[in-house]
Amino acid sequence: MQKRFFLHAIALATVAFTATATLAQDNTFKIGLILPMTGQQATTGRQIEAAARLYMAQNGDTVAGKKIQLIVKDDTSLPDATRRLAQELVVNDKVNVLAGFGITPSALATAPIATQSKTPMVVMAAATSSITQASPYIVRTSFTLPQASVALADWAPKNGIKKVVTLVSDYGPGIDAEKYFKERLIFNGGQVTEALRVPLRGPDFAPFLQKVRDAKPDALFVFVPSGAGAAVMKQFAERGLDKAGIKLIGTGDVTDDDQLNDMGDVAVGVVTSHHYSAAHPSAMNKKFVEAFSKANKGLRPNFMAVGGYDGMRVIYEALKTSKGQGGGDALLAGMKGQIFESPRGKMFIDAQTRDVVQDIYLRKVEKKDGQLYNVEFDVIKDVKDPGKAK
Ligand code: DHB
């Protein structure tokens, strides 16, 4: 009798244990965050991971009854690694969402996995226009290079800049920046006298900048990915381009808030166009910058951080709308059409394109209390990616 009771108790305990285990699994919502945490793009990974963790700290880690689990993987910005990690996250970890993607090749390499597994893929950094067309499961919270470049090509000719040399990193976003800046500048009566491209990996800007100095344009337009701006700025000064009266302009990637403060006086006066500045004067942004800095030893958030923070918002809210139920398609539906206030300003996930619609600002680097900031002086409201119209 006693033995039977004992066995019964074990059986019950086993059932209870299995039920708890299943419940635990069903109640977990996994986000696979693939980022470059080491190598050339490491600052992108550091910024996005910090922002994602801040979002979770501020908004809790339980949403619609699910416990959020963030699984961070380092792809060292090599697209083969991104794809392999995405595959493992989907097959082994059974993640509900893939997120991150520091550079365009990483996002493009992962797109087929998102499609085949019907896993929503939130692109928080990469910014080539065509990315959202690579899979119907991609949603973007960063920006696009056409979006940022066109605004500057409208501003330049009205401000005495007619002859421009362009200098871009030779891959997706750089080619987008070059093309959309040039087309719009020509439309506005300006001209691009030379279009220079530098390699993405280990670029040496010096010989290119020497060429620009000899060509003496009114301005040099630059796109380099986050993390490379300081090297451009240093070489620009060392080659004496500023002294030769050549203006430096570009998308805000070149005056990246992650590095700006250490760039020195050569950066003062540089005009860029972008979707986010740590100096954006809204109450929400002030709170964001303060909390981010406090949680990360004084680090200033850059546009990558804001892409990560808003990406988490998009995931959390989609999970709420789908009430924690349903698979990738239900989540995706909850991501489309979200409209909300971000630290960057108002933003919108276009339900048709799954791409971000947002304000683009013109900014000038200014020194305030000894610190360098991208100070916004004009805004173009609700800019859709011009790349989608073609
Ligand atoms: C991309 C990467 C960047 O670091 C950036 O600032 C813009 C675009 C990209 O690879 O898409």
Q: Dihedral through CA 242, CA 246, CA 251, CA 252, nearest 10?
A: 20
E strands in the chain: 28-35, 62-63, 66-74, 97-100, 121-123, 138-140, 163-169, 191-198, 219-223, 247-251, 271-274, 339-342, 345-349, 356-368, 371-383
CA 273 to chain centre: 15
Q: In angstroms, what is the span from residue 226 Cα to ligand 1's centroid?
A: 6
Share of the chain above pLDDT 70, in %: 93
| CA-proximal residue: ligand 1, atom 3 (nearest) | 225
Q: In angstroms, what is the span from residue 91 Cα to ligand 1's centroid?
A: 28
Q: Is 253 in the pocket of ligand 1 (CB under 6 A)?
A: yes
| pLDDT tier at 25, thresholds 50, 70, 90 | low
Architecture of domain 146-274+361-388: 3-Layer(aba) Sandwich (3.40)
Q: Is 302 in the pocket of ligand 1 (CB under 6 A)?
A: no
Q: Residue 272 and residue 325: Cα distance in Å, rounded?
A: 43
Residue 262 neighbours by CB distance under 10 Å: 10
Q: In angstroms, what is the span from residue 126 Cα to ligand 1's centroid?
A: 5
Q: Is 257 in the pocket of ligand 1 (CB under 6 A)?
A: no
Share of the chain above pLDDT 90, in %: 92
Q: What is the pLDDT of residues 181-229, one digit of tens each?
A: 999 999 999 999 999 999 999 999 999 999 999 999 999 999 999 999 9
- What's the topology of domain 28-143+281-354? Rossmann fold (3.40.50)
Alpha helices, DSSP H, located in 219-353: 229-238, 283-295, 303-321, 328-335
Q: CB-based contacts of 332: which residues, under 8 Å, 6+ apart?
A: 120, 136, 137, 139, 318
> Where in the chain is CATH 3.40.50.2300?
28-143+281-354, 146-274+361-388
| Ligand 1 atom nearest to 303, measured from its CA | 6
Q: Is 104 in the pocket of ligand 1 (CB under 6 A)?
A: yes
Q: In angstroms, what is the span from residue 244 Cα to ligand 1's centroid?
A: 29
- List the one residue out of 248, 250, 245 whose CA is nearest residue 152: 250
Q: In angstroms, what is the span from residue 142 Cα to ligand 1's centroid?
A: 9
The mean pLDDT value of the chain amounts to 94
